A and B are shown apart, each in its own frame.
Chain A
Amino acid sequence: MGCLACEQVCPAKAIDHTDEVNGGKAVRTIYHYTDTCIFCGECEAACIAEHKGIKLSQEWDLAFFDRNKAFETIERELVRCELCGSVIGARKHILWIVQKIGELSFSNPTLYQTRLRELGLADDNPPVVGKDNARDDRIKILCAHCRRQTTLGG
């Protein structure tokens, strides 16, 4: 899901991630180093995806000839701020939050806009009339910094 809960709890620091922005698309790559992993299961216990995310399998043959290749990756799409372009979080993670808090997500434009666009009910980056970084920008998907700026003004 890209929420990085597994990376936070791993005792051996065997999970790591990089965020890459290529023009319009932003992608998070999560690495799992099989040679550092101690197979303790803490990541599986912490995973918010409930048995559909990271989990321990029965696979036994994990030997590599080249230690630099001893890792596995997955990729997840990222949501970026529409004003400054910085990374907010993984798309699937934000949708999961919306699912979890239900109607309360209408208090935060980032959350409900992401959900509405997923459903095809809203446009990407709607144009505004007034100046930038101001009141009209408050309905966009924003990072925390831009959200503060547009709400408090100036």
Chain B
Amino acid sequence: MKKTIIPIGPYHPLQEEPEFFMLTVEGETVTDVDVQLGYNHRGIEKLSESKTYDQSVFVVERICGICSTSHPFAFVRAVEDIAGIEVPMRAKYIRTIIAEGERMHSHLLWLGLAGHFLGYNTVYMWVWKLREEILDVMEIISGNRNNYAMFRPGGVRRDINPDDIPLVLKKIDKIIPTLKMLFKAVRDDPVLHARTKGVGVLTKEEAIDYSALGPTSRASGVARDVRKDTVYGAYHEMDWDMIVTQNGDVFDKVVVRVLEMFESIKILKYCFLHLPDGEIDANVKNIPPGEGIGAHEAPRGETFHYVRSDGGNGPVRHKVRAPTFMNLPTYKATVKGAKIADASIILAAIDPCYCCTERMAVQTTRGRRLFDGRELIRLSQQKTAALKRKLGIDQTMLEKLTQGRL
């Protein structure tokens, strides 16, 4: 059967991150997907070779805006692994605080986007307003809402002022009751269940074969978390649970992320209340020749950095691997057999580090382009509205929750 490929073109005025998926469709069911990447390739690995270690931390921080701490954390751990440097305890606690704050803001952002794709626009606005509390916390500590510039090989760059801690704890406590209500609504909403349960299932074998990471793998029953598997930061100083569910569908991925936020709050509060005194920097002067590997659990999975040094000022080779690189191929396995209306929510469930669903194009086997990304999202929202009518529900629990709460 002759296929015509109609290019949509990756540069669209409304697009946030460019990248291109092409779904092959028969009737209403998706049969295949082709991913084309590389529009955002900036050559950071090559750039690192001309920078010193301290300068590389800043370059690496700007790889991603949402998970901006995970890359410096992994890089700095890799450099410390080369030389076997031990970081002071206070620096470890501060690093953990920054990393968990980032996890909170990233998961809240994702929750808002998932709401938008499913048609709950009020949830989208409302969760992002909640996210402002965490961004205020990060601004009080580090001065910026996103790229915090707190890492350096050997420790952290800036200290936390103890006078700020009571205000920060108050802000964190403000989030907890709303988060609890949100979780109850997600758990009990029948429309949400109908949209997400059994949709986009990633089996355990596939998760292992594709080396899926982060919440994508934990939702499929594969218990992997760098924070538990390796001893680093302050994660082994307190009790917290790794959230693992068994079904691997979109609903499980939502549940995993929401519950992870509660664990993050636990870790944050412990760290703020038990911040030890001491140095914040090990004053590293020289990195000997060798190789080092550093990993960190970003909100999306494990970030992996490999650094090779020859004793000079900067890295000779720096390999960066973001978690989405391993998670994206799983989209091929999860979207096959799904309906077009679900394609955007299945992609969002692996939380790719970009808003790529706008970029999707659909191509039928007869070669006619049917929908582009925005229309796919609209299809998804229409499906929710139709479900509500079928179940005789006027307002879902989530909508009742957010009514008049802005």
Chain A CB within 8 A of B226 CB? no
What is the distance, in angstroms, from A104's C-beta to the closest C-beta of chain B? 23
B58 x A38 contact (CB < 8 A): yes
Residue interface mask A30-73, B partner, CB < 8 A = 1:
00000000101110000000000000000000000000000000
Interface residues on A, range: under 10
Bound complex: CA A12 to CA B147 (Å):
14
Secondary structure dominating the interface of A:
loop
Cβ contacts under 8 Å, B147 to chain A = 38
Judge whether A11 is part of the interface by a CB distance below 8 angstroms. yes
**A46 (CB) vs chain B CBs: closest residue:** B54
Cα separation A12 to B51 with both chains bound (whole Å)? 10
Contact bitstring B147-159, A, C-beta under 8 A = 1, else 0:
1010000000000
Q: How many residues of chain B are within 8 Å of chain A by beta carbon?
A: 11
A9 touches B58 (CB 8 A): no
Within 8 A of A (CB), among B48-73: 51-52, 54-59, 62
B58 touches A12 (CB 8 A): yes
Q: In the complex, are the beta carbons of B55 and A9 less than 8 A apart?
A: yes
Q: How far is the CA of A40 from the CA of B68 in the complex (A)?
A: 14
Expressed in whole angstroms, the Cα–Cα distance for A11 and B149 within the complex equals 12
**Which residues of the other chain, A, contact B62 by a CB distance below 8 angstroms?**
38
In the bound complex, how far is the Cα of B55 from the Cα of A10, in angstroms? 7
Which residues on the A side are within 8 Å of B52 (C-beta)? 9
Q: Point out the residues of chain B lying under 8 angstroms from A10, CB to CB.
A: 55
Contacts A11-B59, A38-B62, A38-B147 aside, 18 further interface pairs with beta carbons under 8 A come to A9-B52, A9-B54, A9-B55, A10-B55, A11-B51, A11-B54, A11-B55, A11-B56, A11-B57, A11-B58, A12-B58, A38-B58, A40-B58, A40-B149, A41-B149, A42-B54, A42-B55, A42-B58
The 6 closest A-B pairs by CB, nearest first: A11-B55, A11-B58, A40-B149, A40-B58, A11-B59, A38-B58
10 CB < 8 A contacts A-B: A9-B52, A9-B54, A10-B55, A11-B56, A11-B58, A11-B59, A12-B58, A38-B62, A38-B147, A42-B55
